[in-house]
Amino acid sequence: MKVKAAVAHSAKQPLSIEIVDLEGPKEGEVLVEIKASGVCHTDAYTLSGADPEGLFPAILGHEGAGIVVEVGSGVKSLQKGDRVIPLYVPECRNCKFCLSGKTNLCQAIRETQGKGVMPDGSSRFSLNGKMLHHYMGTSTFANYTVVPEIALAKIREDAPLEKVCLLGCGITTGIGAVINTAKVQVGDNVVVFGLGGVGLSVIQGAKLAGANMIIGVDINPNKKALGEKLGMTHFVNPKEVEGDLVPYLVNLTNGGADFSFECIGNVKIMRQALECCHKGWGTCVIVGVAGAGEEISTRPFQLVTGRTWKGTAFGGTKGRTHLPKIVDWYMEGKINIDDLITEFMPIEDINRAFDLMHAGKSIRSVVTF
Ligand code: APR
Ligand code: ZN
């Protein structure tokens, strides 16, 4: 079939809107009509050419939501008409990782996903007979896409797809980092570095978990108001702190954070995030994605004296199991998605979404089809 897609022909080039060919779903695959997709930093990172695993030409996009149009042979858990969110971290419930019960990092289709193809090794997308790569197993910058059954979370029918698409990445990552990875407890003091869509969602998660102090750290003072609306109790602008930030935060929390979250992807801030944790038990969760090849450092004494460094991908969320519940939380008013959407725009304007992101003017832009 012919579908409309924003194609990334090569790195550093704007996306171009094209009519491309999409083959139907094969065994274990599902054809999904994408209704909306968020534009995330990971898409921009790949498009910038800095991602060593980036492949071109490709159809980017991984924060989408849509409706099942057709299922391939052997697909049992989904049928035509189901509302779904594509998962860049699938959940096969059958691999060593899924069966461990200890992680959300399903490895069932990791290898082919990283190569930009479906699990059988081929692509469903092409343009003028030339193959286009899939991206993160999702390729949501197209009005139709083919996704493996194990990489689709079925959600309730009444959820607005142009909102809940954001649960496909950033918002779930932030909330999940608090609930699944850190397991923040009532009364904990939390410090969040970086108040973009991810950090603001850490704030929401910390509020849900009943945290005491929820301290947001950002160099952009414009983030304060929304942070407070979502549950932040204190805002710290590092540019306005006299002296070092770490002792300032340790003092503010009366000894250090029970949990800190780095939601920027800056290895220097990752160190500050660890070192502002409480001696003896404080845990720092790395949520932001640093550039390829970058390294973190601290003095080992920080760990010897009881601080923990850990990390999370997709907030430790098992997509097929957990996402339907997170959608319920949104529908019940327990979490806020609407205020994190700074603009809706048609897919034709997608390059503007990248411009707004680079200018720091958006939290999330959502493209619709
Ligand atoms: N100190 C404090 N805040 C900073 C600093 C800094 N040195 N540098 C940037 N920030 C703030 C920005 O002002 C912005 O508000 O961090 C925030 C980052 O937000 P976004 O750029 O909107 O990023 P977001 O979508 O939230 O993702 C954050 O998670 O998924 C990953 O790749 C993503 O690494 C990125 C991170
Ligand atoms: Zn698995």
Is 297:271 a contact under the CB 8 Å cutoff?
A: yes
Ligand 1, pocket-test mutation among 43, 220, 232, 264, most atoms within 8 A of CB: 264
Nearest residue by C-alpha to atom 29 in ligand 1: 288
pLDDT band at residue 343 under the 50/70/90 scheme: very high
Whether 223 is in the pocket of ligand 1, judged by its Cβ within 6 Å, is: yes
Report the separation in Å between the CA atom of 139 and the middle of ligand 1, taken as the mean of its atom positions.
23
Whether 42 is in the pocket of ligand 1, judged by its Cβ within 6 Å, is: yes
Report the separation in Å between the CA atom of 353 and the middle of ligand 2, taken as the mean of its atom positions.
33
Report the separation in Å between the CA atom of 37 and the middle of ligand 2, taken as the mean of its atom positions.
25
The structure tokens listed for 224 are: 């304060």
Q: Which of 57, 54, 60, 58 is nearest to 40 (CA)?
A: 60
Query: Ligand nearest 288 Cα, by number?
Result: 1
- Give the model's pLDDT for residue 194: 98
For 170-214, give the DSSP string: HHHHHHHIIIIII---TT--EEEE--SHHHHHHHHHHHHHT-S-E
Whether 255 is in the pocket of ligand 1, judged by its Cβ within 6 Å, is: no
Q: Counting beta carbons within 10 angstroms of the beta carbon of residue 330, is it exposed (0 to 12), middle (13 to 18) or buried (19 or more)?
A: buried
> Tens digits of per-residue pLDDT, 114-125?
999 999 999 999
Query: Ligand nearest 194 Cα, by number?
Result: 1
pLDDT reading at 311 higher than 90: yes
User: What would the mean pLDDT of 289-295 be, rounded to a whole number?
Assistant: 93
The minimum-distance atom of ligand 1 relative to the CA of 173 is: 30
User: What would the mean pLDDT of 216-242 be, rounded to a whole number?
Assistant: 97
Looking at the predicted complex, does its ipTM rise above 0.95?
A: yes
- Give the model's pLDDT for residue 53: 85
Helix, strand, coil percentages for the chain (3-state, nearest 5): 35, 25, 45
Q: How far apart are CA 59 and CA 154, in angstroms?
A: 23
Whether 220 is in the pocket of ligand 1, judged by its Cβ within 6 Å, is: yes
Whether 28 is in the pocket of ligand 1, judged by its Cβ within 6 Å, is: no
Please provide the distance, in angstroms rounded to a whole number, between the alpha carbons at the two ends of the chain: 16
Q: Counting beta carbons within 10 angstroms of the beta carbon of residue 173, is it exposed (0 to 12), middle (13 to 18) or buried (19 or more)?
A: buried
The minimum-distance atom of ligand 1 relative to the CA of 195 is: 15
- Give the model's pLDDT for residue 29: 98
- DSSP-derived 3-state class of residue 99: helix
User: What would the mean pLDDT of 10-34 be, rounded to a whole number?
Assistant: 97
Whether 238 is in the pocket of ligand 1, judged by its Cβ within 6 Å, is: yes
Q: What is the rounded average pLDDT for all residues in the chain?
A: 97
HSE, side-chain direction, 13 A CA sphere, residue 320: 14
Whether 364 is in the pocket of ligand 1, judged by its Cβ within 6 Å, is: no
* Active-site annotation, residues: 40-42, 62-63, 92, 95, 98, 106, 110, 169, 364
> Tens digits of per-residue pLDDT, 84-110?
999 999 999 999 999 999 999 999 999
pLDDT band at residue 52 under the 50/70/90 scheme: confident
Side chain identity at 228, as an amino acid letter? E
Residues in contact with 233: Cβ distance below 8 Å, sequence separation at least 6, in sequence order: 212, 213, 214, 215
